[in-house]
A and B are shown apart, each in its own frame.
Chain A
Amino acid sequence: MASTDSPWQTIIAAALLGSERQPFQPPIAPGQLGQVLSQLCGRSTEAALLSAAATVTLHHRVGWLPETQAPDSIEPVQPDDLPRCNPLAARYLQQILQGQYSSLLSEWLEKAAQTEQRVPEMLLPALLDKGRQQRELRALILPVLGHRGRWLAAQNPDWSYAIALSTETDWETSTPAARLLYLQDLRSHDPDRARELVQATWSQETASDRVKFLETFRIGLSLADESFLESALGDRRSKEVRRVAFDLLASLPDSRLCQQITEHTCRYLSLQDGKVPALKVLLPEQLDKSLLQLGLELKPSTAVNSTLGEKAWWLLQLIGATPLSTWTEQWQMSPQAILKMTQSHEWQTVLLHGFVLAAKRQKNAEWLEVIFKRCFREPDLSREIALVGLSIEELFNMLPAASRDDLLIYLLQIAHTKIKDSLTIWLLRYSPQQWSVDLAQLVLTCLEEQISATTNFSNSDWELRATLKEFARFIPVSLIPEVMQLRIKLLDHTAWIQSIDDLLTLLQFRYEMTQSFEAGSRR
């Protein structure tokens, strides 16, 4: 039997079978092992078996030799890396990665990038994993990985997102995620070259990659992209590709598409002169072939729009792709005046949604701001429409940082929106970065007023209290003394004090975290 070839296999076979069925004979082995085994012959069959097992086991363990393999050919990491962040900053990162103050991760990463420091080795795996789970963090993670981090990422397919394509030659062979990152980067400084790359392999890409690559055109979009986008508009294989191409072309007010659509829109929307100017709306009876070819859609595509009738939906699409300057120039009216006319209009929803769509596409800050303020001022516009229908958060996000803060100040000061209003809380929390000192101070004042006035907790008080801690991300650390003052003033409001303490703790953590980067780095 093959299995009885080695002494060990002989012993195993005998042990499995049992010595009462077949008496055990110590196996024959060469050398000293054989000598020891042969001495067992005189013993009882069980004793011989167990002793043989002990002997062979030990013989094997003592004689074990490690394997030798050809050395791995991994190229080591290149030297002269960025300096590591200092141990204190590293500890803050560790705390954040372990889930404490995790909302501060992006700020930590930004600080490290600004001071040109890298993440220490021991924290790289956890950070790279974070980036794998949270796509939005990737752009922040890349600059702080250093050579070491990118080298490590190259060893693990899960982290392929972190390996930047260094040259164009990798373009065709890399993973979709890496190509996408490369493309996004290239669009930001050489959009023409990026377009040429996409064009070169366009027909071989899958539909979902075509959509993703096309989305990168939002970065550095210009009329130079027009011809390519027009060809994508004719993509026979993917509706989603056509939709993105349409959206991009509609975002270029000088595109042929916008001009053609404008001609149509003007037929349905016009100004009725009278004592009080009013908007005259005609609904299109049908969607003609040329419009369908341009990319207009017959059926509403989203749930909100589907509450509109078909014809209203067609008009909405037309207005959304018409340059807003058409109206201000043609009618010689300000955006405020035009929007005022939509108020209580029979087709208010269509008009408003159409203008919002156009303003977003054209990134027209003036219109966005006017629309935004209107949402808060008009009692006829329900919050639901503002939040869901007009996706106000997106609107808000498109505003430049300074206008955002100004708007919030406007809301709190002029529009007298309460700070505990859930929409206000929401907008305050939505800020992509720290508030301006003015806004932060105003928020603190509002908080003091609000909390001092609270006697019974209502739902919105609960919400505000639960959110308070998060405000620490947005309050400039220079205002810590003011927050401490606030705490002292509100000491009697015991229901709030814990939340204010949490806010203060987080704010202080942020302060120390920021300071830790000042302390310098270590090699």
Chain B
Amino acid sequence: MPVQWTSEQVLALAPDAASAKNGRGLATRQKWHSLGSQQSVIWGECQGSGKTPYRTQIDLSEPAFRCSCPSRKFPCKHGLGLFLLLAEQPNELIESEPPDWVAEWLTSRSQRAEKQAEKQVKRQEQAADPAAQAKRANERQRKVSAGVQELRLWLDDRVRQGLATLPQESYQVWDAIAARMVDAQAPGLARHLRELAGVAHTGAGWIDRVLERFGQLYLLIEGFERLETLPAEVQADLRSQIGWSMSQDEVRSGAAQADLWLVVGQRTEEEERLKARRTWLYGLSTNTFALLLDFAHGNQPFEQTLLPGSCLEAELVFYPSAYPLRALIKTRQEAVLLTKTPPGNLSMTTAIATYSKALAQCPWLERFPLLLQGVIPQFSGECWSIQDQEGVVLPLSQRLEPNQGWQLLALSGGYPFSIFGEWDGSTLLPLSVWAEDLYYGFH
């Protein structure tokens, strides 16, 4: 069965809006001298402004792109154009013998994969200087302990003085203590404090929100101070909240979980030229969710190509946690297949109960994956929400753009559909919808 790609999936790969636009412009037969395909590889020669056409090729099994154009964007507009052609006019890509330049690339790709594997082994060997490592670890532990102690005093002090004047105080108050936490090598704590600066200025109800966060910070401090007495997973959660990051190699050494993983949702957010992408996977046989985090600077591509709405057969390793969600791909099969609407939770009450249990195990959950079946979107005149067949209502996030709310309603037409989104404890940010077995992404 030929894989049916959609334009939307392809355009989701564009590094920026301009690339998407230009890619679309090239997705027409006229722009290409030659086009061909063989199994999971497609290629074409595209006439650019220069004399010689650009040679563009895609290995669909990942998918991986390559193009002879000088663009530093990835995938470049030619790659996107070629991919769009495949999605929209697949008959134009005729099954044929790959030309030399395609064959060469395929060979070099498999060689590179081998080299990378070798490198990894080397890296692991190099890392081994246990004495130095232990020294560094001890030093950090000492610094963080001092930082945590300082933060405890700071919090005590704030509470002693009373919080009534917080909204009138400048951001510097928060910046100063956050900077101290950075010095103490506890960037996680620093992040919590910087977020608090914003929370204090959110108007009515600010005190509830500030105090909730103060409580959370305090819980973190108390937990850290008796870290050794806690179970290993709880320790891992606390350490990651405070700002220890595990190396990928460390994570990979854990037990792998194989499944057919459906990419149920994806969202990329950009801050100061750093793109952070969250990709949610759902294991079809284990009914487990997994979150993949990827980062890329500026126009750099993400290392992994993960198409929302598609499926990948892979082995994942989870970061240790009392409620494991974040994961890494350990091995990945070449096949990318698409399925129909995934099975979701029919009852919101059950879904929220799952969230409550998860929260009881790991109180640091910021975004919880909810896959719901049989919901109808509705608009109250001010905000959007979804309702299940039992009448239970979940509000949708304010970050949903007005048009997206109407898009949800249009997709539903008053009939129930399936939705996937991130639940933050009070609102759901929709990332995907399946209506009549078709996938729609909300980015």
Contact = CB atoms under 8 A, between A and B. Distances in A.
Interface stretch (A121-129, A278-286, A369-377): A121-129
A178 to B, nearest CB: 19
B156 A16 contact: no
A351 to B, nearest CB: 54
B406 A124 contact: yes
Interface in B382-419: 387, 389-394, 403, 406-407, 409-411, 413-415
B162 A15 contact: yes
Interface in A46-72: 46-47, 49-58, 61-72
Given A64-B352, A121-B411, A53 B215 contact: yes
B159 A152 contact: no
Interface string A87-105: 1101100010000100000
Contacts of A129: 403
Given A54-B219, A151-B413, A508-B28, A15 B163 contact: yes
A57 to B, nearest CB: 4
Q: What band does the interface of chain B fall in when counting residues whose beta carbon is under 8 Å from A?
A: 35 or more
Contacts of A77: 413-415
Given A50-B218, A66-B392, A17 B425 contact: no
Count chain A CB atoms within 10 A of each CB in B163, B348, B415, B435 and give the residue with the most. B163
A50 B414 contact: no
A512 B29 CA distance: 10
A21 interface: yes
A11 interface: yes
Count chain A CB atoms within 10 A of each CB in B348, B352, B410, B414 and give the residue with the most. B410
A88 to B, nearest CB: 5
A153 to B, nearest CB: 10
Nearest to B401: A125
A75 interface: yes
Contacts of B162: 15-21
Q: What band does the interface of chain A fall in when counting residues whose beta carbon is under 8 Å from B?
A: 35 or more
Contact residues of B: prevailing secondary structure:
helix
B164 A16 contact: yes
Contacts of B55: none
B207 A58 contact: no
Contacts of B360: 62
Given A63-B356, A66-B352, A68-B392, A156 B406 contact: yes
A319 to B, nearest CB: 53
Nearest to A523: B436
Q: Which 6 A-B pairs have the closest CB atoms?
A: A18-B162, A76-B414, A54-B215, A53-B215, A77-B413, A125-B406
24 contacts: A12-B207, A12-B211, A15-B162, A16-B207, A19-B160, A19-B162, A20-B162, A21-B162, A50-B215, A52-B215, A53-B218, A54-B216, A57-B211, A64-B352, A66-B348, A69-B387, A75-B414, A91-B7, A121-B413, A121-B435, A122-B411, A124-B407, A149-B410, A152-B410
Interface of A: 8, 11-12, 15-21, 44, 46-47, 49-58, 61-72, 74-77, 87-88, 90-91, 95, 100, 121-122, 124-126, 129, 148-149, 151-152, 155-156, 505, 508, 512
Interface of B: 6-7, 21, 24-25, 28, 30, 84, 87-89, 155-156, 159-164, 207-208, 211-212, 214-216, 218-219, 222, 348-349, 352, 356, 359-360, 363, 376, 378-379, 387, 389-394, 403, 406-407, 409-411, 413-415, 425-426, 435, 440
Given A50-B215, A66-B348, A505-B25, 17 more contacts: A15-B162, A16-B164, A18-B161, A46-B156, A50-B159, A57-B211, A57-B215, A58-B363, A61-B363, A66-B352, A67-B392, A71-B387, A72-B378, A88-B88, A88-B89, A91-B88, A122-B411
